[in-house]
Structure 1
Amino acid sequence: METLSGTVLTGRSFEPIRGRVVVEDGQIQSIEEAETTSTDIILPAFVNAHTHLGDSVAKEAAVGLSLDEAVAPPDSLKHRRLAGATRSDLLSAMRRSLRFMQRTGTAACLDFRESGTAGARALREAAQSVDADPFIFGSGERSVLDVADGYGASGASDDDFAEERTACRKRDVPFAIHAGEPDPTDIHPALDLEPDLLVHMVHAGQEHLERVADQSVPIAICPRANTVLDAGTPPVRELLDHTTVALGTDNVMLNPPSMFREMAYTAKQFDVTAREVLRMATTAGAEIVGLNCGIIAPDRRAALLVLDGDSDNLTGSVDPVQAVVRRATELDVKRVLV
């Protein structure tokens, strides 16, 4: 049994209480109000709702390129770099990104893994020695579902993914697809596939939002990556008003997979509250794929992040949720328990 003390951000509303979290056998046993001198801030570990960890072999390579030049299949810089990487280099690069995520408070990520079954197997191997778990959305041949946790489609304009969608239904695993990143033309075709997750939705209009709400489709947004690629700005407030929204960092070659940076950017650029942003960075991603984390409550997995509330950066903060979302950095991490 282990006890973590300080200001605990509890439940779906992240209500701060002074007290302790009791952990046993990898689960949260209880949250107890109690007097404590600890200045630590205890929150759920992050769930990064959209990554492309394979891109770790090409960090900064796409700076200054357009969306199509950088990432569009099959001939973009990203896909050329992936094709040219040795398996050893790919494993090392992905493992390093996972290790960075673990050390900076991320317990899990929802990764779109290129290169079919071989790509999914490579990510499984890369993650073996790291405590940040990738939920793998495989690609390519349908047999990738023998290895991956679900299927991640590049976009409805790239191919007909009806058979892959059917295969996911038969196996009862999630089907996710990019939509509305370069323009809105692929959003309705993506929704026709009845996906379990849409990614980006930068160019979503009212007609798309109504369908998203009717179909109860959650959305992963990646605002920093959209900015780097000059793809536009997702209508975050409108998306939140219609469905579950989760936060992801997208391509590692564009930005580090830092949820601190993604939260601060989102909180300061959009009409959202700090609690909504923290929920997007923790609870939402976990719930989309059925992970038992992302919230501090009894019987949940003990995936927890402890920040030093007395750090030079955080000391004096009057609101712990605002401090976590808008101010905290990797330097404030005291401990990651996963």
Structure 2
Amino acid sequence: MIDDGEIVSIEETETTSDAIVLPAFVNAHTHLGDSIAKEAGGGLSLEELVAPPDGLKHRLLGAASRDDLVDGMRRSLQFMQSTGTGTTIEFREGGVEGVEMLRDAAGNVDLEPVILGRETVDAMEIADGFGASGANDADFDRERTATAEAGKLFGIHAGEVDESDINAALDLDPDFVVHMVHPEPVHLERIDDSEVPIVVCPRSNVVTDVGRPPIEELAARTSLALGTDNVMTNSPSMFREMAFTAKLFDLPAREVLRMATLNGAKIAGLDRGVVEEGRPAKLLVLDGDSDNLAGAQDVVRAVVRRAGQGDVKRLVL
């Protein structure tokens, strides 16, 4: 039972319903600004695609109008909502103006973005935290200190292309790290000691040809969440991210579902991601009798490996 946006009771009872109820997804890492450039730059390296300031992404963003950028982000948010996502953790380029544009884009959408400003402390101050590009790009000590003093979220990319920026990123004591494709044993030990959460984006890593994160090794040391990364290169569908992860790595389906829900919610500091009394009712309802899901013998495995947008009956936000 739900009352005033809260799960107030869960009762075991017989039902004729085929509905599957689960927590709404948390997409733990997105770059929504490049929604105007889907599938641009095929065949380019990661640096050619997204490295500031001259990567293709940044050139396209610089040439686009504000209205086009806001509309592109709004449409991506709407698509994410239609595919079961209730929250996204967004690394928002463009300083203060970038944060304001995403707020405009989210104005008529139920999905709630957790916005991490980039490039300036001012952007962090009007956002929910700071999202750093990578320790090789700049010295983020000032931004980290200011974010901690503000009691906000600090995330940073690390280990995407190689291992060279991982130690410096971990030295900042971030609230979470994104990618971690190339950790060496010393980095795994540090992750084990600190238990810093890691957001993995395996589809993005494969598309940009940087390698595959050692998800099984990382999962043995800390909690992992899933993100879809740049809209430019991947659809921001958590269904697709879960299925890809479950089929590429040796992880139980229940753990992959946790990566797409509870673990991302914990990173964002949200009291959700699980169907439990007293929790906010942020729920996804699937049609268990859809042509796609009918006959499933293992419901969790079916949700993780084969469910999709066509199975969504309702998103309760």
Query: TM tier, shorter chain?
Result: over 0.9
Q: Name the counterpart of 2:164.
A: 185
Distance 2:205 2:104 in 1: 30
Letter in 1 for 2:153: P
Shift of 1:214: 1.3
Report the 3-state secondary structure (helix = DSSP H, G, I; strand = E; otherwise coil) of the residue aligned with 2:155: strand
Q: Kindly, what percent of the aligned residue pairs are identical?
A: 61
Q: Name the counterpart of 2:198.
A: 219
Shift of 1:242: 0.5
State how many pairs are aligned.
317
Gaps of 5+ in 1: 1-21
Distance 1:145 1:248 in 2: 21
Match among 57, 75, 78 for residue 78 of structure 1: 57
Letter in 1 for 2:268: V
Deviates more, 1:177-186 or 1:205-214: 205-214
**Mapping 1:12-51, distance limit 5 Å:** 22-51=1-30
Distance 1:206 1:44 in 2: 35
Distance 1:30 1:49 in 2: 28
Distance 1:177 1:27 in 2: 33
Shift of 1:185: 0.4
Letter in 2 for 1:91: V
**Mapping 1:1-338, distance limit 5 Å:** 22-338=1-317
Report the 3-state secondary structure (helix = DSSP H, G, I; strand = E; otherwise coil) of the residue aligned with 1:33: coil
Cα deviation, 1:133-178, whole Å, max 9, x if unaligned, reads 1101111111112211010000000000000000011101111100
Report the 3-state secondary structure (helix = DSSP H, G, I; strand = E; otherwise coil) of the residue aligned with 1:185: coil
Distance 1:137 1:160 in 2: 17
Distance 1:293 1:93 in 2: 28
Distance 1:258 1:143 in 2: 31
Cα deviation, 1:221-240, whole Å, max 9, x if unaligned, reads 00000000001000000111
Distance 1:82 1:292 in 2: 34
Shift of 1:216: 2.1
Letter in 1 for 2:213: P
TM-score normalized by structure 1?
0.93
Shift of 1:86: 0.7
Q: Name the counterpart of 1:14.
A: none
Letter in 2 for 1:294: G
Runs of 4+ with >4 A deviation? none
Distance 2:51 2:270 in 1: 30
Distance 1:39 1:55 in 2: 38
TM-score normalized by structure 2?
0.99
Report the 3-state secondary structure (helix = DSSP H, G, I; strand = E; otherwise coil) of the residue aligned with 2:285: strand
- Which is strand-richer, 1 or 2? 1
Letter in 1 for 2:67: S
Backbone CA RMSD of aligned residues: 0.7
